[in-house]
Every structure is written in C-alpha cells, then in structure tokens.
Amino acid sequence: MSDVAVPKLRIGVLGAGAISQAAHLEACRKARNATLYAICDAAEDLLQAVAVVHQPCTTFTDYDQMLADPNVDAVIVAIADQFHVAMASKAIAAGKHVLVEKPMGVNVEECEALTAQVGASGLTLQVGTMRRFDEGIAYAHEFITEEIGEVLSMRAWYCDSTHRYAITDALQPLIRTSGGAVRPPGDPKANRRSYYLLGHASHLVDTARFLCGEIVSLRAELVEKFGAFSWFISTRFADGSIGHLDLTMSVRMDWFEGFHVYGERGSVVARSFQPWYLRTSEVECFSESDGLYRRPLGADGHFWRRQVEGFADTILNGAPQRGADAHDGLAAVRTLVAIQRSLDSGEEVEVAGIVGAV
C-alpha cells in the first residue's frame, strides 16, 4: 500500500446552525479529500457545543479572522440566504474557494456581481444544490446527455410533506440552537411565497437545468388553499424542449420528488426521497438502442459528503466542476425571480434580462 499522503482541502465552515450540524460538518469529516479545519459562528455557546462534537482544528467567532487564517483553503457558507453573497464575496476577496448554500443569493444583481468577482478571481465557487451529487441523478444527467438524443419534454416535481418534521426529527442529530445566533433583520421566512421559492424551488429549478439545460422562458401559476401552495410552471428550454415544474408546499402525504425526461432514443423516470434518508434516487433509464432499462444502485447516498469531495477534487486536482457553479447559481435565481414576475403579470416571461428579487 502506498503511504503517500492524499492532499486534503482544509475547510472552514461559516455557520454552526441546522444545516451544518445535520450535513456539512459530518460531510467535511467523512470526505476522503477534505478536513474540517475550522468552524466559525458568532454565537459562542453554539460554536463550542458543536466543536465538542465535530472537533475542528480551530474555531472562530469572527469571520474575518477565519478568512485571515492561511490554513483555510476554502469556506462553506452555511448561513441565512440574505447573507450568502456578502460572505461568499468576502471569502473570494480573501483568496478562498467557496461552497455556498443554495440559493446563491436573494436578488439577481448581487448574484451577477458575485459571478463577475468569481470569474475574475480564478477561484472555485460551487452552489450547494447537492442533488447533483445524488448518484442516480448524476447517472440520469449522463444518460440524457449521451444516450437519448434530443429531449422532447420533461416534468419535475418537488412536493414537501406535511409530515416533514416527523421524518427529519427521526433522522437528523439533535440540532443545537442559540439565542445569540446571527439572523437577518425582520423574519424573511414569514413571507412563505418568497421563502418557498428561494429555499425549495431553488432545488427544483437546479435539477431541471442540470438535466435539460437553460430555461429561456416560463409561465407560472400559483394556487393557495388551506395553507398549502402549489406552483405549476410551464418552461421552454434552450433546445426547444418544454417542461412542467411542480412545487407544492406541502402535500398531505409523504415527500414526493422526481422527474420524467422523454427523449428521441430513450426516456428517464426518477423518484427521489426525503433528503435526510441519504438515499440515492431510484432512476430508470430506458434505451431504444437495446430495449433495456438501466437502474444504478447508488449505494453511497451521502450526497452532502459527495458534494464536498467533488468541490475538493475540482480545487485540488482540477477535476471538472460537477456541482452548480456561479453561472448556474445566478441562472437559478433569475429563474426564481422570473417565476414571480410571471405570477405578477399573468404572462409568459423571458428569463434572460430579468433583474430584482423574488
């Protein structure tokens, strides 16, 4: 066996809140090519409690100090959506690579500025739409690109469940909280429409773009009844194919997520599971060339760890970026804003040129 040490990306995680405790800290510790070097949170009690569990090399309550540490190669920005761009931008300015939680930002202009800054820096920025690292979805992407020829149409749905918290409470570690946690002013989550678009449609839109490419125009409808919301969005893709996206918050049944893609020489059907099961999507890819269905097992369903490994591979080895890059993050936010503009106008909306916020 070789005793040559594998180079590891030294990661500083900004934010010791829910998503870091449930996903990123363990992902950094388990990743074959990364180490959890630092955790930073302004809430010292939370920081210390989380550090006891995850044992980083060091901790910071001050983000600028973490960025000034030359041992930090890259930062995971795992804080409220409203802070993403400002903190990702600081990291890039400090010469650190960035994995920023989804959505990349909360308005188009700030995402454009960050995308330009990243482009000029030569650093890697990846957006945390981790479904791209679900082996089943990655296989579907490859199959669509290589096997099925032209795409005719697609449907994708992302329907949260009214039973979400029973499931997540059973699966996640006990989440520590602190009264000292830094939060954006007001209560952005109180506006359910914008919160659901930013927080949840960001996954749906990214998956649709990952599978079928750029969304050039869309028309959205929204119905709200008994406290539930259903967005139906008709999309046109750059290759002339059409799509239907369904975001429903929340269905009175189990979590329901998946997609169909119909192509010239084959089709793909996929079912994804509540993310905290860490279970690879069930994907069936049919090819007209041999009349067979292919279905990957995807035994390794830890898409948060796989996301960190992909990020580190790009930075350490120059591997092609498999995760969403800044352009994808910007396009996703533009698409989310276009959904809202279409609802406002009742018209089909071109996505290019859309500015503003959801």
Ligand X SMILES: NC(=O)c1ccc[n+]([C@@H]2O[C@H](COP(=O)([O-])OP(=O)(O)OC[C@H]3O[C@@H](n4cnc5c(N)ncnc54)[C@H](O)[C@@H]3O)[C@@H](O)[C@H]2O)c1
Contact footprint for ligand X (CB under 6 A): 15-20, 40-43, 46, 63, 78-81, 83, 87, 101-102, 128, 130, 181-183, 199, 275
Q: Closest CB to ligand X among 9 and 42? A: 42
User: Shortest approach of ligand X to residue 13 CB, angstroms?
Assistant: 9
User: Shortest approach of ligand X to residue 176 CB, angstroms?
Assistant: 9
Torsional sign, CA 170, 174, 178, 182: negative
Residue 227: C-alpha distances to residues 12, 42, 153, 230, 344 (Å): 39, 35, 31, 10, 20
Give the number of other CB atoms < 10 A from CB of residue 217: 17
Angle at which helix 135-146 crosses helix 202-212, to 10 degrees, equals 30
Between CA 250 and CA 230 the distance in angstroms is 8
User: Shortest approach of ligand X to residue 200 CB, angstroms?
Assistant: 9
Q: Closest CB to ligand X among 232 and 276? A: 276
From the CA atom positions of the chain, what is the Rg in Å? 20
User: Shortest approach of ligand X to residue 16 CB, angstroms?
Assistant: 5
Q: Closest CB to ligand X among 97 and 131? A: 131
Q: Closest CB to ligand X among 39 and 220? A: 39
User: Shortest approach of ligand X to residue 12 CB, angstroms?
Assistant: 11
Q: Closest CB to ligand X among 27 and 245? A: 27
Task: Identify the CA nearest to 255 among candidates 283, 227, 275, 281.
Answer: 275
User: Shortest approach of ligand X to residue 44 CB, angstroms?
Assistant: 10
> Which residue, judged by CB position, is nearest to ligand X in the bound state?
17
Task: Identify the CA nearest to 287 among candidates 306, 264, 308, 309.
Answer: 264
Give the number of other CB atoms < 10 A from CB of residue 150: 10
Torsional sign, CA 24, 113, 198, 321: negative
Q: Closest CB to ligand X among 75 and 148? A: 75
Q: Closest CB to ligand X among 85 and 140? A: 85
Structure tokens that stand for 342 in this block? 């279409």
User: Shortest approach of ligand X to residue 304 CB, angstroms?
Assistant: 8
